[in-house]
Structures are given as C-alpha cells and as structure tokens.
Amino acid sequence: MSTGVRRRMGVEERRQQLIKVALDLFSRRSPDEVSIDEIASAAGISRPLVYHYFPGKLSLYEAALKRASEDLAGRFVEPLEGPLGLRLLRVMRRFFDFVDEHGPGFSALMRGGPAVGSSATNALIDSVRQAAYEQILTHLGIEDVAAAPPRLELVVRSWISLAESTALIWLDGRRVPRAELEVQLVDDFGALAAVSAARDAEMAALVRSLVKDEPADGPFAELAGRLIALAS
Amino acid sequence: MSTGVRRRMGVEERRQQLIKVALDLFSRRSPDEVSIDEIASAAGISRPLVYHYFPGKLSLYEAALKRASEDLAGRFVEPLEGPLGLRLLRVMRRFFDFVDEHGPGFSALMRGGPAVGSSATNALIDSVRQAAYEQILTHLGIEDVAAAPPRLELVVRSWISLAESTALIWLDGRRVPRAELEVQLVDDFGALAAVSAARDAEMAALVRSLVKDEPADGPFAELAGRLIALAS
C-alpha cells in the first residue's frame, strides 16, 4: 500500500519491495487479473518505474514465484528426530499454511496460469518437487538420493503429486477441513508405501524397518487400528 | 510416409490425414522437435499446403491432441458388470497401452510442452480427467455425479492425478514393469479409499458396500491378504 511518504530506496531494496508487493497480490487473486498498474500503485511508485526494475509482468511474476518456491522448500525442512509419521504431519501443516496463504496464485500456477509453459516457471516447480523428494528420502534414511530403489522413487514422487492435487481440490471450495487432509496425506503416504511393499521384497524390508520405530500412539499405528476396525 | 502416388483428397479427408500423420510424429518424439516440414513430408504434400489446412503448428497440435483425448477417454469406458477391481485393472491396462503408444508426446504435454498454457490444451486435458472421474463414479454407483460426497471426490480426483504421475515416472526410464504398475494403481485406489473410510462414516459405508461384492480371488482381496502378511 502507498504510504504517501516517499523516500529513496536502493535498487536491490526496491526490487525486493516490488517482489513482496507482487507476491502478495498474486497470492490473493489469480495473477492473470493483477495489472502492472495495480502493482505500481500498491508499491507507491509509477508504472514506468516498475518497468525500470522489471522488464515486464512475466519477469516480476517469475521473481515472485522464485521467492515463493524458496519459502515453500524451506517449510519442508524438518529435524531428523522423532517418529516419521509426526515429522510428516508437521510438514503437511506447514504445506497447507503455504497453500492457504497463496491460494489463488497456487491454483492458477498449478492449473496452468499465465507463465506456465515458460521454462523458468516449470524449472522452479520442478525444483520444489525435487526438494520435497530429497527431504523425504533423507528422512527415510536413504543417503544416496540418486541411487534410491525405483519403486521407492515411484511411491515418493507420485505421493508428492497426490499432495499437490489434494491441496488444489481443497482450495476449490474448501469442503473438507484442512486439518483432516493433513492427517489424510500422512496416512496416504503410509498406505501407498504399504501397497508397494505388499508386492516387492525390497520395499517390504524398508517399510518394516521404518515401522518398527513408530510409536503405538503415532499416526501410522492409529491408521492401522482404524483399518482393522473398518475391515471387521 | 509419402507414397509417391498423389491423388486428390477432399478437405476433410486431407485434414484427417494430416492429424493422423502429426499425431503419429508427436507420439514418437517431443512435439517441440517436430517441424511442419517434417509433417508435410510425411503426409506427402508441400509445406504451404499444410498451412492451407491448418494456420500453424499449434492448431495442428491442438487437433491432434483433441483426437488423442477422445481416444483416451474412449478407453475408460468399461461395462458395468463384474468385480470392480477387475474392471479398474482392465482400464489401467488400456491406459498404459495409450501411454506406451504416445510416450514422448504424453510426457511433453503433461510436463509442460509447447502448447501448455494454451487454454484450448488445458481444457482438453481437463475434459479427459473429467471423463475419467465420471466413469469411476458411475462404476461406484453414484448416479448424480455433481452431488458426489466431497471426500469421495477427493479420493477419486487425487487418485487420477496419482495415475498420471505414475505413468509419467514410468515413461522416464521404464525401470518398473508396466504390468506391475497397472496392478499397483488398482491397489492404490483401494488403499486411498480405505484411508478416507478409516476416518469418515460416509466413506466407510460406501467402501463396505463396494467391498462386499468383490470376489475372494480379486485384486482387492489379494491386496488385503498381502498387507496382513506384511504386518505380521
């Protein structure tokens, strides 16, 4: 918002301010609907001055997306201690915080927004997915990420896409409480890993070694209890 | 391929021939890498004549994508009889046939190809997802698709995105046999529905009513047996 008070900013400071203002606007409405005039007005500067710092809306959008990507990747970082199910649940809470804060911009981006198809945008989305993938493998005790077993890679990467689509469907009407979906995604991870382990010895050994450290009152044990109740 | 023998084709016949030739090329290599010259040569006509039928590569790409979308949506259609798990397994086999036939084009499209961000392309992708969604709900006995419970919608739509990403990861190196993934996706569907049912009474009632008709030697019963063996 314009304060009415103008002071001189350095180039980098002004760029950072514009990124912050743009990200805020792109988070509250679809980026398609946000004009450079509006960004200039919210930053309290003229439209030509915006173009002095960013050659066009796409470059400002990419800069804002880069900041959002770094923010999101930072939220995946979780200490390597305590039960796995609870670690993942804390990450899911922070993921939904992010999705909640950036709802319209997140939807527009993931559903094919203005800059989709731009290779810079696709590379940023992929870098966040890769950060999520590497974090999860680290928590599963896989030291050499590039040498992960192919079935584990499939479970982890396809679950990441499940988490993205669950968040997108949630944003479209918010008809299920987000806290329920945070737990559900933790459960889904366990279920997809168990399905893979049910038909593959290598995955079975990995799942058994991970589950033995899970507490009896953690999310995975609770899920197992509920599934047994459902089946009976 | 050019036959060397030229005969006059009607406008619609020529358009259909060009779509077929283009789809074949877009299926074997990333559409980025396919030129109009190459399409003209494969169709045995001149480059200007291609532009007579399609104003540019994007319009020919969209026409080819439309035909591929109709083909894929047609493969989802399955008679409403027999065990659910086996119906879904047959659809998964036809889905992987399609992915196998159109590998490079499918990857390029879903990973952000040349026409992604075009609203026509996004609408086609969404129409195929919607066709898959409606087919599944019909098989689950939901008559009014628009009134599906929100948790069921979440399970079905997020599983569709899981199936897409599983196919994409498979195409990237084919390190797991596709027959294994066809069964795994059927199992994943059951597992995601069970996870949702474990915490929601409406989903639990639906899952119980569906499972009671599944045969003891069908994929869902086999999965349950394998999971029990894994847990013991």
Q: Which residue's entry shows tokens 């084709």?
A: B9
- The pLDDT of residue B113 is 52
Tokens for A24, please give them.
């805020």
Which region among A95-104, A204-213, B40-49, B128-137 has the lowest average model confidence (pLDDT)?
A: A204-213
Domain shared by B41 and B137, yes or no: no
Burial class (CB in 10 A: 0-12, 13-18, 19+), B184: buried
The beta-carbon neighbor of B112 closest among A117, A175, A199 is A117
**Residue span of the structural domain in which A28 resides:** 11-59
CB spacing of B194 vs A191 below 8 angstroms: yes
Q: Do A195 and B207 touch (CB under 8 A)?
A: no
Contacts of A226 in chain B (CB under 8 A): 198-199
Distance from CA of A210 to the nearest CA of B (A): 12
**Local confidence band at B219 (pLDDT 50, 70, 90 cut-offs):** confident
Contact A176 B227 (CB under 8 A): no
Report how far residue A157's alpha carbon sits from residue B48's, in angstroms, rounded to the nearest whole number.
44
Give B185's pLDDT tier (boundaries 50, 70, 90).
very high
- Which has the higher per-residue pLDDT, A221 or B71? B71
Shared domain check, B121 and B92: yes
* pLDDT number for residue B1: 47
Residues of A within 8 A of B169 (CB-CB) are: 153-154, 157-158
pTM of the model: 0.92
Show residues of chain B in contact with A199, CB under 8 Å: 180, 183-184, 187, 226
Q: Are residues B50 and B71 part of one domain? A: no
- Nearest-CA distance from A79 to chain B in Å? 27
Same domain, A36 and A119: no
Gap between the Cα atoms of B4 and B18, Å rounded? 16
CATH number at residue A192: 1.10.357.10
Phi, psi of A214 (to 5 degrees): -80, 135
Could you give the dihedral angle defined by the CA atoms of residues B53, B58, B59 and B61, in that order, rounded to the nearest 10 degrees?
90
Closest residue by Cα to residue B73 from B93, B90, B40, B95: B95
Task: Render pLDDT for A122-140 as a digit per residue (tens, 0 to 9).
Answer: 889 999 999 999 999 999 9
| Cβ-based contacts under 8 A for chains A and B | 130
DSSP state of B118: B
- pLDDT at position B210 over 70: yes
Average pLDDT in the B21-34 region? Answer: 92
Nearest 5°: the CA angle A187, A189, A191 is 70
Largest CA distance in chain B: 71
pLDDT attached to residue A113: 52
Residue A205 forms part of a structural domain = yes
Contact, B43 vs B57, CB < 8 A?
A: no
Residues B71 and B87 grouped into a single domain: yes
According to the model, what pLDDT value does residue A5 have? Answer: 54
Quick check: A198 and B226 CB within 8 A?
A: yes
- The tokens for A183 are 């737990």
Residue labelled with tokens 């169709």: B43
Is the model's pLDDT at A4 over the cut of 80?
no
ipTM over 0.85? The verdict is yes
Read off the CATH number of the domain in which A49 is found: 1.10.10.60
Structural domain includes residue A78: yes
* B123 or B38: which leads in pLDDT: B38
CA-nearest of B159, B53, B68 to B105 is B68
State whether residue A139 is helix, strand or coil. helix
B133 contacts on A by Cβ (under 8 Å): none
User: What percentage of chain B exceeds 90 in pLDDT?
Assistant: 72
Q: Domain count of chain A?
A: 2
Contact call for A165 and B157, based on CB within 8 A: yes
Residue A2 placed within a domain: no
| Band of pLDDT at residue B121, cut at 50, 70 and 90 | confident
Measure in Å the smallest separation between the Cα of A157 and chain B Cα atoms. Answer: 8
| Res B112: pLDDT | 66
Question: Model confidence at B32, in pLDDT bands (50, 70, 90)?
Answer: confident
Kindly state the tokens that stand for A119. 């290779």
Do residues A85 and A165 share a domain? yes
Is the pLDDT reported for residue A117 higher than 80?
no
- Classify residue B2: in a domain, yes or no: no
What percent of chain A lies above the pLDDT cut of 90?
72
User: For B169, which residue in chain A has the nearest alpha carbon?
Assistant: A154
Taken in order A94, A98, A103, A105, is the CA torsion positive or negative? negative
In-domain check, residue B95: yes
Checking if the pLDDT of B7 tops 70, the result is no
Distance CA B163, CA B189 (A): 9
Based on the fold, state whether residues B117 and B211 are members of the same structural domain. Answer: yes
Residue of B nearest to A122 (CA): B112
Q: Do residue B201 and residue B133 come from a single domain?
A: yes
Question: E strands of A1-158, at which residues?
Answer: none
Tokens 């309290």, located at residue: A44
Q: What is the pLDDT of residues B75-109, one digit of tens each?
A: 999 999 999 999 999 999 999 999 999 999 998 88
Same domain, A53 and A70: no
Name, in order, each residue with C-beta under 8 angstroms of A129's C-beta and a sequence gap of 6 or more: A157, A160
Q: What is the pLDDT of residues B157-169, one digit of tens each?
A: 999 999 999 999 9
Cα separation, A215 vs A81, in Å, equals 13
